[in-house]
Structure formats: structure tokens, C-alpha cells
Amino acid sequence: MKLESAAPAMGLRVGQLNLAKDGDRAAGELRGLLLEHQLLVITKQQLTSEQLMDFGHGWGDLMTHPSSMAHPNPYVQTLANQGKVKGKGFGAWHSDMTWHPTPPRITMLHAQRVPGSGGDTGYANQHLAYESLDRASRDKRRMFRRHLATQEELVGLSAFHVGKGFGEHVPDSVHPVVRTHDETGRKALYVNPEFTSHVIDVTEHASERLLWPLWLHAVAEEFTYRHRWSPGDLLIWDNRSVMHTAILDYDEPRSMSRIVIQGNEPV
């Protein structure tokens, strides 16, 4: 494998690897690299849905997603747009399926067709966001940091996560505002503007006063990587410590396949 850094904040580019042929043998090394770098960009992969699913099985049990349950293969979600997206700008930053009692620990996204320009995905390292909280809260040059909580102030807090946009049958869950990675022991912020509705056991005003500065801090440029897709790219990221967002600035067809690997209850 050929390895090179994707960005200072996170990510490793992996080349000269054929997952259709060598995926099983490479999985162990890739898992170690993912724990170190939070995100892997594996280029030039020609994978069918079945091959992607087989590769994913080497990382753990696959989870279904509500939007793929009607498809022939409920474990492979197709994310496709046939033309102009509705509106321009950013989708909401989030970690996948945080409304689930045991959200996925890993997400894999494989690009089949990408627009000639636009359609990037942004990623944010939530380990760095948490670890820099105390330093950032002392920096008053940005307005929102006047109310940015410290690490100590977040101890013991939990937040409510809602996924009813995918259907009334989708569960809601409560997770810690700061989660501890179950393999590395590192802490990460674990709230997001897509699914986190409020901090529990505090007033509505106190919840908003906590969450909005955290969300702004969590996606500061120094914690992020922006991926420009090419056909065949397979991105693997640690859903326990990474948020992502779709950038909705394209007018051409775009097609991706996604699988998610079962995680544990966040603590």
C-alpha cells in the first residue's frame, strides 16, 4: 500500500490496493490505520454492492438504515441524485445514526458516479474538537467562544438524539455529550446539529447556550478535511469520532453506496 496524509487534522490516503482481491488480507492493517487517522481514503476501487458488503463484514456486523429497508439489499444504501440538487450550500453536520441506541462505529462510502465539479464531503475530527476545548474557551476573539463550555463543564452531561425524519418507527436515544472511544480511550465531542435536539436535565435556554457554541467549535477549519470525490473512491471513517456533511453545490448526477458497521452503546 502507498500511504500519504490527507490533511493535518485527519485522514490518510491509501493507494496501490485492490480491495476486491486483497480486502480480507488488508482489513487488519486498515483497522489499525483508521484508529490512528480517523479516516481513510482508498482510491480506485471497482466494487459491486456485494463486494462492498463482503468487505464490510470483515470489520463487523452490518446495520440496516431506514432509507434502505425497501431495497433488495437493506445493508447497502444507495445515495443517488439524478440532476440538480434542491438548493445550494451545506447539509447539516452529523455523525451517522446517533438517534440509534447503538450507533454505527464505522461508515464506508463508495463513489460510483460523481459530478464534474462540486459534491464534496466535509469531515471534522471530534477528538481534536474536544481536546482543544479549554484552550478555545479562553480565546475570546470569536463571539461564540464567550459561551464555549470547558471539558470540566461537560462532565456527566447527556443529550437527546432524534431520528424521526426517517419515520415514526425510528427510535430516539440519549447519549453522553462527550463519549469515550471504546478502543483507544480518547474522548470526543458527540453532539451534532442534525440529530441532537437538546441536552437533558437542563433548561431549554441552558441547552441552547451549551450546544450552539459546541457545534460551531466542532467544525472549525483546523479540525476538518474536505474530500473531492473521484469515481472509485472508498472512504472509511470512524463514526465515533468524526462528523461529516454533504456540500450541496452540484448540478450533475452523483451516485454513492454506503454501509455502516454495528457499534456499541456510547459511554
- Whichever domain contains 12, its CATH number is 3.60.130.10
For residue 47, being part of any structural domain is answered with: yes
The residues facing 257 across adjacent strands are: 78, 110
| 256 lies in the same domain as 205 | no
| 200 lies in the same domain as 169 | yes
Instruction: Give the DSSP letter string of 174-203.
Output: EEESEEE-TTT--EEE---TTTEEEETTS-
Per-position pLDDT tens, the chain of length 267: 999 999 999 999 999 999 999 988 999 999 999 999 999 999 999 999 999 999 999 999 999 988 766 577 889 998 887 665 555 445 699 999 999 999 999 999 999 999 999 999 999 999 999 999 999 888 766 666 668 999 999 999 999 999 998 888 899 999 999 999 999 999 999 999 999 999 999 999 999 999 999 999 999 999 999 999 999 999 999 999 999 999 988 889 899 999 999 999 999
| 147 lies in the same domain as 57 | no
For residue 183, being part of any structural domain is answered with: yes
Range of the domain at 144: 125-218
| 111 lies in the same domain as 12 | yes
| 113 lies in the same domain as 134 | no
Domain count, the chain: 2
Q: The pTM is what?
A: 0.94
CA distance 139 to 148: 10
Decide: 64 and 170 in contact? Cβ < 8 Å: no
| 204 lies in the same domain as 147 | yes
Q: What DSSP element (H or E) covers 30?
A: helix 19-37
| 110 lies in the same domain as 55 | yes
User: What SS3 class is residue 251?
Assistant: coil
| 175 lies in the same domain as 237 | no
| 129 lies in the same domain as 213 | yes
